[in-house]
């Protein structure tokens, strides 16, 4: 029998309606329905509208009913940039940074990404899955229903593949949907020191075919940064990956402005991420080419860097997505409430822009805007019930999650008021 669910009597349903990225001024529009209800059949949204209209046409007894009186409903949040599968931790580096060391200094001394790479090499596939599961559960508690996850802590054939296989397993056993990104060019490993170009060739010739032949990733990403991979090296890798069917993403202009945003536009990337130092020209080109600007304020906060110029980027007509960048180094957090606080208080994004950036635009940043990211008929039933009556409360409860229930694929997978999630 079909799983039929009625969510009724919501004070507000914030639909974020649409099936593509919302650019510039369009990010202000949330498409709110008041006194509203939703019907779900199996894992799909069948109908959304005014409670009166919805209830007129159905027999309530045929449905599992969730009463959302005095609540606000939004689409599930999508965390479109994370590094959630890794071995070991780097709490010591947090301390070093508090004492004044910079992220790049720590990386040059063999810490940073290399340190996590060493630990990830040692971890078994099962260990990576086990720690990944805990992080996914934590994400769900903040209302995340889909997540993007990158490799990049292998920097060799076997470990990159092991990370991607761990993600595949996680996707199979956890309700969360995981979009997989190959980030083999995340750092230059010690054996290739001073030979980043040769490392890129190694990835293109040896690792990339293994990834695509086994269908282990949808995207290819690269850390396009001064003293890591140049624009030329990044272009070469991403184009080779495109030929094998992988869509492009970039860590672009995070620490030094080297033209990452321009490259993203040139090669038709799905998203360019970080962008703390992106040029005006680069941003305008991204707007023109529909490249989503994925901003990661948690990382700027944690590294005590200036925030990306969200206002300028939106006012230039770009689509902005927000994500945690959850990783063991530059930003160890799954906290969506932290991201919401930083976006609204320090990046001057409005509440409406912030919610679109975590839903429909985040869906666009993983090329899924036709299936998720909004409460529209025919989309996946990935839905949050918040414990307050309007969306204004979401940032107002600073640093605290307002999410009361998480509905994923039509099933309740998190309930704040119950000890255990139920299906
Ligand atoms: O997005 N910038 C490069 N990569 C990650 C950090 C990874 C790490 O430090 O482990 C980032 O910030
Ligand atoms: Fe990242």
Mind listing the domains of the chain with CATH numbers? 4-75+374-415 (2.30.40.10), 78-365 (3.20.20.140)
Q: Rounded to the nearest whole angstrom, what is the distance from the C-alpha of residue 223 to the centroid of ligand 1?
A: 8
Q: pLDDT tens digits, residue range 83-106?
A: 999 999 999 999 999 999 999 899
Residue 110 has what pLDDT? 85
Ligand 1 pocket, 254 CB below 6 A? yes
Ligand 1 pocket, 97 CB below 6 A? no
Ligand 1 pocket, 329 CB below 6 A? yes
Rounded Cα distance between 418 and 234, Å, is 47
Q: Rounded to the nearest whole angstrom, what is the distance from the C-alpha of residue 385 to the centroid of ligand 1?
A: 32
Q: Rounded to the nearest whole angstrom, what is the distance from the C-alpha of residue 83 to the centroid of ligand 2?
A: 6
Q: Rounded to the nearest whole angstrom, what is the distance from the C-alpha of residue 346 to the centroid of ligand 1?
A: 21
Q: Rounded to the nearest whole angstrom, what is the distance from the C-alpha of residue 291 to the centroid of ligand 1?
A: 21
Residue 108 has what pLDDT? 87
**Atom 5 in ligand 1: residue holding the nearest Cα:** 330
**Atom 3 in ligand 1: residue holding the nearest Cα:** 223
Range 51-83 burial, b when 16+ CB lie within 10 A, else e: beebeeebeeeebeebebeebbbbbbbbbbbbb
Ligand 1 pocket, 297 CB below 6 A? no
Ligand 1 pocket, 330 CB below 6 A? yes
From 251, 260, 295, 300, the mutation candidate for ligand 1 (largest count of ligand atoms within 8 A of CB) is: 251
**Atom 1 in ligand 1: residue holding the nearest Cα:** 325
CB atoms within 10 A of CB 91: 9
Q: Rounded to the nearest whole angstrom, what is the distance from the C-alpha of residue 284 to the centroid of ligand 1?
A: 25
Q: Rounded to the nearest whole angstrom, what is the distance from the C-alpha of residue 301 to the centroid of ligand 2?
A: 14
Q: Rounded to the nearest whole angstrom, what is the distance from the C-alpha of residue 329 to the centroid of ligand 1?
A: 6
Ligand 1 pocket, 83 CB below 6 A? yes
CA triplet 41, 402, 359: central angle to 5 degrees? Answer: 55
Ligand 1 pocket, 327 CB below 6 A? yes
Which candidate, 35, 156, 86, 100, places its Cα nearest to that of 331?
86
Ligand 1 pocket, 120 CB below 6 A? no
Ligand 2 ion local residues (Cβ < 5 A):
325
Ligand 1 pocket, 251 CB below 6 A? yes
pTM over 0.95: yes
Ligand 1 pocket, 116 CB below 6 A? yes
Which candidate, 283, 290, 285, places its Cα nearest to that of 313?
283
Q: pLDDT tens digits, residue range 278-293?
A: 999 999 999 999 999 9
Q: Which residues contact 396 (CB under 8 A, 6 or more apart)?
A: none
Closest ligand 1 atom to the C-alpha of 273? 1
Residue 421 has what pLDDT? 53
Ligand 1 pocket, 79 CB below 6 A? no
Low-confidence ranges of the chain (pLDDT < 70): 419-423
**Atom 8 in ligand 1: residue holding the nearest Cα:** 329
The answer to whether 343 and 357 have CB atoms below 8 angstroms apart is: yes
Rounded Cα distance between 10 and 228, Å, is 49
Residue 245 has what pLDDT? 98
Ligand 1 pocket, 132 CB below 6 A? no
Range 304-342 burial, b when 16+ CB lie within 10 A, else e: ebebbbbeebbebebbbbbbbbbbbbbbbbbbbbbbbbb
Ligand 1 pocket, 148 CB below 6 A? no
Q: Which residues contact 253 (CB under 8 A, 6 or more apart)?
A: 224, 259, 260, 261, 272, 274, 275, 276, 277, 278, 279, 282
Ligand 1 pocket, 325 CB below 6 A? yes
């Amino acid at each position: 029998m079909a799983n039929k669910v009625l969510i009724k009597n919501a004070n507000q349903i914030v639909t974020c309606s649409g099936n593509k990225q919302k650019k510039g001024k369009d990010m202000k529009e949330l498409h709110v329905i008041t006194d509203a209800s939703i019907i779900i059949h199996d894992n799909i949204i069948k109908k959304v509208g005014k409670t009166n209209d919805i209830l007129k046409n159905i027999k309530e007894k045929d449905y599992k009913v969730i009463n959302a009186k005095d609540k606000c409903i939004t689409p599930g949040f999508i965390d479109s940039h994370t590094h959630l599968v890794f071995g070991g931790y780097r709490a010591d580096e947090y301390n070093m940074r508090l004492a004044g060391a910079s992220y790049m200094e720590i990386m040059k001394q063999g810490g940073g990404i290399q340190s996590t790479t060493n630990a990830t090499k040692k971890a078994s596939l099962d260990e990576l899955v086990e720690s990944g599961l805990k992080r996914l559960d934590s994400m769900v508690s903040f209302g995340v229903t889909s997540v993007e996850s990158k490799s990049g802590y292998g920097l060799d054939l076997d470990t990159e593949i092991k990370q991607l296989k761990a993600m595949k397993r996680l996707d199979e056993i956890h309700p969360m949907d995981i979009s997989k990104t190959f980030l083999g060019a995340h750092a230059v490993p010690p054996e290739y020191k001073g030979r980043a170009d040769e490392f890129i060739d190694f990835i293109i010739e040896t690792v990339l075919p293994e990834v695509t032949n086994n269908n282990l990733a949808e995207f290819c990403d690269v850390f396009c940064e001064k003293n890591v991979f140049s624009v030329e090296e990044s272009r070469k890798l991403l184009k080779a990956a495109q030929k094998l069917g992988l869509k492009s993403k970039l860590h672009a202009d995070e620490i030094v402005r080297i033209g990452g945003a321009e490259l993203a536009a040139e090669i038709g990337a799905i998203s360019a991420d970080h962008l703390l130092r992106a040029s005006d020209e680069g941003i305008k080109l991204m707007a023109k080419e529909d490249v989503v600007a994925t901003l990661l304020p948690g990382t700027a906060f944690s590294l005590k860097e200036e925030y990306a110029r969200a206002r300028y980027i939106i006012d230039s007509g770009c689509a902005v997505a927000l994500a945690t960048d959850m990783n063991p180094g530059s930003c160890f957090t799954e906290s969506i409430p932290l991201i919401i606080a930083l976006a609204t208080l320090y990046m001057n994004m409005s509440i409406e822009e912030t919610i679109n950036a975590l839903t429909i635009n985040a869906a666009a940043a993983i090329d899924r805007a036709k299936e998720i990211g909004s409460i529209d008929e025919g989309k996946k039933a990935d839905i949050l019930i918040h414990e307050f009556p309007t969306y204004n409360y979401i940032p107002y409860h600073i640093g605290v999650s307002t999410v009361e229930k998480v509905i994923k694929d039509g099933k309740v997978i998190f309930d704040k008021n119950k000890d255990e999630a139920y299906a």
